Amino acid sequence: MSMGSPFRSFSSGPSSSGFVTPGVKWLLIGNTAIFVFTLLGRAFAGWHFQAFKLIPQDVFSGSLWQLVTYQFLHDVNGFQHILFNMVSLFFTGPMLESAWGTTRFLRYYLLSGIGAGILVCLASVPFGTTEQVTVGCSGSIFGLMIAYGLLFPNLLFFGAIPARYFVMIFGAISLLGAIAMDGTRVSYIAHLGGLLTGWLLIRTGTLQRLGGKPGKAWDPLASFRQQWKEWKLRRARRKFQVYMKQKSGRDPFDVQ
């Protein structure tokens, strides 16, 4: 595979209609909007959204939805957390979505985050962190990173580091962080969980069964516009039928 940089227009890569594909676009918008909402909610109403964060002891008690919802919450004490995740999504997501299709891409993204959350919960028992809170889509992002490194290993990050080495470096950092840094151990385990889940989804062939058509990126806005156009055409046809019936005294579309 020829060398190149991922920081370019993807129109020359796997079939993509633009730099940001639909699934990536909606993840960027959704995560950012939820971050702003939670930030304002805490500032003006004192809301903390604990029921939607990943808390292992709650998951063990049946709050399984947290394995999904925690992925869309980020630390509101600063912008570094969401900024890193959104920038990473912006640069790794479009090529993967273009190669897989939107359905497969989004399912892979969510499953990587769920797998990361499960590992966090399992690791919390021996580490004694069952009450520790985890938020963010870092597990999903690291799932995208391992996929990017496997599918496009020779593309250069920052014009210097091949993708496969970039993923190896971040994987090693996460492993060392999980072992050595007590205060932030769970977040590093989420990174490892995303890497492991993504690797398993790809290597076991599960990815191929997640649906979607390569190169077919679903755009919800385009779909809505098409449905709106078809509805207006049907309405115009009915109005024309009524007009012609009133003018001629019969329905011109009736076949005698």
**Domain 10-217 annotated CATH 2.60.120.10:** no
**Nearest-angstrom CA–CA distance, 139 and 125:** 19
- Mean pLDDT, rounded, of the chain: 81
Helical axes 163-180 vs 138-151, angle rounded to 10°: 140
| Distance from C-alpha of 185 to C-alpha of 230, rounded to nearest angstrom | 53
- Residue 208 vs residues 14, 30, 43, 186, 252: alpha-carbon distances, Å: 17, 26, 44, 30, 51
The full 3-state SS of 180-210, as one line of letters, equals HCHHHHHHHHHHHHHHHHHHHHHHCCHHHHC
| Residue 13 one-letter amino acid | G
Q: Report, as an integer, the average pLDDT of 14-33.
A: 80
Judge whether residue 9 has pLDDT over 60. Answer: no
**Mean pLDDT of all residues in 40-51:** 94
pLDDT band, residue 29 (cuts 50/70/90): very high
Cα distance between residue 184 and residue 177, in whole Å: 8
Of 5-14, 49-58, 186-195, where does mean pLDDT reach its minimum? 5-14
Which long-range contacts (C-beta less than 8 Å, at least 24 apart) are formed by 55-59?
A: 55/130, 55/131, 55/132, 55/133, 55/134, 56/120, 56/121, 56/124, 56/125, 56/129, 56/130, 56/131, 56/132, 57/124, 57/130, 57/131, 59/117, 59/121
Tally the residues of the chain. 256
CA distance 251 to 134: 65
Annotated domain spans of the chain: 10-217, 219-256
Neighbours of 188 (CB within 10 A): 21
| Helix, strand, coil percent content, the chain, rounded in steps of 5 | 70, 5, 30
**Kind plus residue range of the DSSP H or E element containing 235:** helix 220-248
Assessment of whether the complete model's pTM goes beyond 0.85 = no
Give, as one character, the DSSP assignment of residue 134. B
The pLDDT tens digits of the residues spanning 51-71 come to 999 999 999 999 999 999 999
135-189, pLDDT tens digit by residue? Answer: 999 999 999 999 988 888 888 765 678 888 888 887 787 777 666 655 555 578 8
